[in-house]
Amino acid sequence: MVISDGHIAREAFTLLRLSPLLEPRRDEFAEAVSAAYATIEGFAAAHGWTHRMGVFFDRGVEVFESQAALWERIKTLHSLPRDLPVPTPGLAAALECRILVAVTPEEYASVAPEYGSTPDAYPRLLAHEIAHRLHIAIVGGDEDAMGPEWLYEGFAVVASGDLLEPPRCEPTWEALSAGGRGAYRRYAALVRRLMSLAPLSELVERAGRPGFEDWARGFLTSGRSR
Ligand SMILES: [Zn+2]
C-alpha cells in the first residue's frame, strides 16, 4: 500500500508519543518521520519494491531525550535483562515491535557526531531504520536472509539517501567490508560499487544464499577489470 505524503504526515502526527518536554515539538518530529517514510517509499518504488513497502511503525513513534532512555525502552520491548549495557556507543534509533523509537536530533548529534551532525541527519536516521524493515519485507520476513552486515547496513545507508562522502581512492575489499569507526560509510560505498555492476534487487536476492560474499568479491574484482 502506498500512502501519499499528506496521509503519512497526518499519520505520523497521531502515531507520535512524546514526553511533556518534547510535546511542543510534535510538528517537527512528524515532519521528520514523514520525510523519512517518503525517502524509503521513493527508494522502494525506484527498485520495484512498492508492493513490499508499508507503514512498518504502525504501533507508534516514540522520541527520547537521552540514549539511556531509548535503550531502556528497547530493553522493555524485547524483555531484555535490565542490566544489559548499550550495545553500541552510537545507538540512536530502532524499529522494534512495529514501533519506531529514536533519540532527539540533538542527542543523535551528541552520541554519533560523525553521522548525527550532517544536514538532514535526523530524517536519514529514521529512514535508515525503516529501510531495514523494507529489507526484511523484501526477503519475506527472514532476517537471516539479509546477508552479511556490510550488505544490510550498506543497503540501509544507501536507501536512506546518505550524503556521506565515499572513501577516497580505490580501497580494497578488505578495507571496505571491515567494521569499526566509519564502517557504515564504507559499507555504503561497497554496496554502491556493486550496484554499478548489478541491480540492487539481484544483490539482495543473492545475499541470502550461501557463498554470497565470495560471489560479490569475485564479481567486484571482475567487474572492475572489465
Ligand atoms: Zn542499521
Q: What is the pLDDT along the chain (226 residues), one digit of tens a residue?
A: 344 556 677 888 899 999 999 999 999 999 999 999 999 999 999 999 999 999 999 999 999 999 999 999 999 999 999 999 999 999 999 999 999 999 999 999 999 998 888 889 999 999 999 999 999 999 999 999 999 999 999 999 999 987 556 555 566 777 777 777 778 888 988 899 899 889 999 999 999 999 999 999 888 887 654 4
CA of 156 to the centre of ligand 1 (A): 6
CA of 184 to the centre of ligand 1 (A): 8
CA of 9 to the centre of ligand 1 (A): 23
* Sequence-distant (≥ 6) Cβ neighbours of residue 42 within 8 angstroms: none
CA of 77 to the centre of ligand 1 (A): 18
What's the whole-model pTM score? 0.91
Q: Which alpha helices (H) appear in the chain, and where do they start and end?
A: 5-15, 26-46, 67-77, 105-111, 113-116, 121-138, 149-159, 173-177, 183-195, 200-207, 212-225
pLDDT of residue 58: 95
CA of 131 to the centre of ligand 1 (A): 8
Contact (Cβ atoms closer than 8 angstroms) between residue 162 and residue 124: yes
Sign of CA dihedral 47, 219, 163, 34: positive
CA of 129 to the centre of ligand 1 (A): 6
CA of 135 to the centre of ligand 1 (A): 11
pLDDT of residue 225: 40
CA of 17 to the centre of ligand 1 (A): 23
pLDDT of residue 167: 57
Strand order in the sheet with 16-17: 16-17, 60-64, 99-103, 93-96
Distance CA 65, CA 211 (A): 42
- Cα Rg of the chain (Å, integer): 18
Distance CA 102, CA 99 (A): 10
CA of 225 to the centre of ligand 1 (A): 31
HEC-encoded secondary structure of 35-60: HHHHHHHHHHHHCCCHHHCCCCCCCE
CA of 91 to the centre of ligand 1 (A): 10
